Structure 1
Amino acid sequence: MQRQAYTVMAIGQAGRLQYEAILLAGSLRLTNPGFAGRLVICEPQPGPLWQTDPRMTAGARAVLEGLGATILPFESRVFGQDYPYGNKIEALAALPDAPFLFLDTDTLITGDLARLEFDFTCPSASMRREGTWPKIELYGPGYGAIWKSLYDRFGLNFATSLDRSQPDEYWRRYLYFNAGWFFHDSPRRFGTRFLTYAKSIRDDPPPELALQELDPWLDQVALPLVIHSFGGGRPGLGLAGLDGAVTCHYRTLPLLYARESDRAVEVLEAVAKDPPLRRVLRDHPPVKAMVLQNQGRRARALFDRANLPHREQVIRNTLKREGLWLR
């Protein structure tokens, strides 16, 4: 199934995301010139839930279309400016109803997508995550009670979601993903359920969530429930290239230089220095400083990729101390 044509989707909007979308599209063209599917950049449209126009500039749109991307508008009816992470949920309704792979816009394609072994009927998502949610309070419920309340809310089998190789009340035992990538065979069905679950959790959280923050974690709270409801789960070895040799979810350019592979740096610099793309990308301060002014190489020299700090916050603090933190 890995050679099946499918849609790669990401979000593009005014500001940082339009530049990241160009890097993503450029990396796809560079590394997968024969890609049989299509790249769709979903763009939120102006409306009452946006205080400013979220659409990309004409220059960014022209570059993306020149790279072969289709720009697809969608309406924000539930989230918008107050919760922009909801874009990835609401944009699914605008996609053609065919197999899709969602990628966060701050992602590079670094290898051959045909190496990935997708079963689009069995959805999954990124395991490159930390134990960011829930935060267990001294007198509050534990991981098990919090997650079970959500599975019970939607009539799902909580027991079958557990990784029993991990100890009870350890966060890795419970199904939890980074929402940086996920896939399914139907964006309509997946998106409808994702939106239903996210709205229910936001508007009427179970009592067990009374002490829990849902912003910005709402999408990552709802996502494992949606995946489990469609019979999916943790990704198998055939998808190891995602967050591996095939894609790189870098989050910010300083973090990319600090911790990602030489291949990721090579792809980034090849795309950003391509003259037609460079003319637009130089307007984005992180690209200008990190790539075009070589500050990324200075950031890279601060870290040993074979012995990185266990916590991302330590890397961020080091970059900030050296004046190299840009987003």
Structure 2
Amino acid sequence: MATKRKKSKAFNIVVVAQGGRLQYEAALFAASLRHFDAGFKGRLIVAEPQPGARWGQDPRITSPAVRKLLEEELGAEIVPFESRHFGEAYPYGNKIEALRELPEGEPFVFFDSDTLVTGALSALKIDFDRPAASMRREGTWPEVPLYGPGYGGIWKSLYDKFGLEFESTLDTSQPDEYWRRYLYFNAGWFFGPCGPSFGRRFEEYALAIRDDGPDELACQELDPWLDQVALPLVIHSFGGGRPGPELDGLDGDVTCHWRVMSLLYAREADAVVEALGAVTAPNKVKKVLKEYDPFKRLIFQNKGEKARALFDRAQMPRKEQAIRNRLKRENLWMR
């Protein structure tokens, strides 16, 4: 008798959208999800911050066309959330506070809105009981002071603050006091077994680090790095860690965290550019994305192809700043 193949656990996806650039990025994300993963069965939740004391202006989605595209054409659910602790002063905190509005007890994957889906997310084998996050990162934090403490002392002080074991988080294949030895993620995607419980701990840790950090953080800058400082601690506290090879498709052939559209054209693989073209070809998508001038110029007026022609993907500059500078000289740097 043939055994039934175990199905992957259904999960929800969440991105944040608000007035300005993020609403168009969220629309592009949703369009790419529906184009490349028609079999996705979970909920696509677009979290929308609401007006309040922590916002100087109304942060909600301003484009009726974006709202209609998301809800009526792409099957997204726009879910409001309150900014209790972060808001305009630290908009990266949106990804922390939005999690409380996710369904209790249901697994989730969070993506930054500046992400393009290029394959079937639902085909990935994700172990939601072992949370992880993106490893497409650089050694941006901490900045080790001349007279110390070093990487180990800084990171251990954080684990100690929250009563977390530290040694098992180390990648011992990397040298001592080299940033890659320590658990550090890009917060462009992360997942867990339950949005509200993950969000509560993320919020607790982030606020404690911001408001009452250990002495070892005295010289450290937390803006904009606070979310990426707290995230490894949260993931470790839930029994998670670095993603395994089964998740290589994230930041691989299933998703692309493009960050700035000019950079997508300059440095991403041909398959990503082709995917972007396919996603944005339908008129219902194109007419909405054209509202946003950088998308209009780069995607639909072929400025992106001009940016791409400036670089040889096989011999890209080592530092991103060099790419930015060349794009700016050619008037092709557009967010």
* Farther-moved stretch of structure 1 (300-309 vs 210-219): 300-309
Of 10, 14, 17 in structure 1, the residue corresponding to residue 15 of structure 2 is: 10
SS at match of 2:171: coil
Q: Where in structure 1 do 4 or more consecutive aligned residues deviate above 3 Å?
A: none
Of 228, 240, 245 in structure 2, the residue corresponding to residue 232 of structure 1 is: 240
Within 5 A, what are the aligned runs for 1:84-233?
A: 84-97=91-104, 98-233=106-241
In the alignment, the residues of structure 2 paired with residue 313 and residue 131 of structure 1 have an alpha-carbon distance, to the nearest angstrom, of 15
In the alignment, the residues of structure 1 paired with residue 34 and residue 125 of structure 2 have an alpha-carbon distance, to the nearest angstrom, of 20
Q: Decide whether the 8 Å contact of 2:133 with 2:242 is kept in 1.
A: yes
Unaligned 5+ runs, structure 1: none
In the alignment, the residues of structure 1 paired with residue 324 and residue 148 of structure 2 have an alpha-carbon distance, to the nearest angstrom, of 30
Q: Percent identity?
A: 63
The reply to whether residue 82 of structure 1 matches residue 89 of structure 2 is yes
Q: Decide whether the 8 Å contact of 2:103 with 2:195 is kept in 1.
A: yes
Report the residue type matching 1:88 in the other structure.
Answer: K
Alpha-carbon shift at residue 2 of structure 1 (Å): 6.8
In the alignment, the residues of structure 1 paired with residue 204 and residue 156 of structure 2 have an alpha-carbon distance, to the nearest angstrom, of 18
Alpha-carbon shift at residue 289 of structure 1 (Å): 1.1
| CA RMSD of superposed structures (Å) | 1.1
In the alignment, the residues of structure 2 paired with residue 23 and residue 283 of structure 1 have an alpha-carbon distance, to the nearest angstrom, of 12
Which residue matches 1:21?
26
In the alignment, the residues of structure 1 paired with residue 114 and residue 169 of structure 2 have an alpha-carbon distance, to the nearest angstrom, of 29
Q: Decide whether the 8 Å contact of 2:39 with 2:122 is kept in 1.
A: no
In the alignment, the residues of structure 2 paired with residue 319 and residue 213 of structure 1 have an alpha-carbon distance, to the nearest angstrom, of 28
SS at match of 1:213: coil
In the alignment, the residues of structure 2 paired with residue 285 and residue 22 of structure 1 have an alpha-carbon distance, to the nearest angstrom, of 15
In the alignment, the residues of structure 1 paired with residue 164 and residue 142 of structure 2 have an alpha-carbon distance, to the nearest angstrom, of 19
The reply to whether residue 50 of structure 1 matches residue 55 of structure 2 is yes
In the alignment, the residues of structure 2 paired with residue 8 and residue 263 of structure 1 have an alpha-carbon distance, to the nearest angstrom, of 23
SS at match of 1:135: coil
The reply to whether residue 60 of structure 1 matches residue 60 of structure 2 is no
Unaligned 5+ runs, structure 2: 1-5
Alpha-carbon shift at residue 307 of structure 1 (Å): 2.3
* Farther-moved stretch of structure 1 (139-148 vs 235-244): 139-148
In the alignment, the residues of structure 2 paired with residue 144 and residue 107 of structure 1 have an alpha-carbon distance, to the nearest angstrom, of 32
Within 5 A, what are the aligned runs for 1:247-326?
A: 247-326=255-334
Q: Decide whether the 8 Å contact of 1:290 with 1:296 is kept in 2.
A: yes
Q: Decide whether the 8 Å contact of 1:257 with 1:265 is kept in 2.
A: yes
Report the residue type matching 2:49 in the other structure.
Answer: P
* Number of residue pairs the alignment of both structures matches: 327
Alpha-carbon shift at residue 115 of structure 1 (Å): 3.1
In the alignment, the residues of structure 1 paired with residue 18 and residue 45 of structure 2 have an alpha-carbon distance, to the nearest angstrom, of 13
Report the residue type matching 2:14 in the other structure.
Answer: M
Report the residue type matching 2:39 in the other structure.
Answer: G
SS at match of 1:70: strand
SS at match of 1:62: helix
Q: Decide whether the 8 Å contact of 1:273 with 1:292 is kept in 2.
A: no
Report the residue type matching 1:49 in the other structure.
Answer: R
Q: Decide whether the 8 Å contact of 1:2 with 1:115 is kept in 2.
A: no
Q: Decide whether the 8 Å contact of 2:97 with 2:199 is kept in 1.
A: yes
Cα pair distance change 1:2/1:119, threshold 3 Å: farther
Report the residue type matching 1:74 in the other structure.
Answer: F
Report the residue type matching 1:79 in the other structure.
Answer: F
In the alignment, the residues of structure 2 paired with residue 268 and residue 102 of structure 1 have an alpha-carbon distance, to the nearest angstrom, of 20
Alpha-carbon shift at residue 306 of structure 1 (Å): 2.0
TM-score by length of 2: 0.95
Q: Decide whether the 8 Å contact of 1:2 with 1:114 is kept in 2.
A: no
In the alignment, the residues of structure 1 paired with residue 34 and residue 333 of structure 2 have an alpha-carbon distance, to the nearest angstrom, of 28
In the alignment, the residues of structure 2 paired with residue 109 and residue 165 of structure 1 have an alpha-carbon distance, to the nearest angstrom, of 32
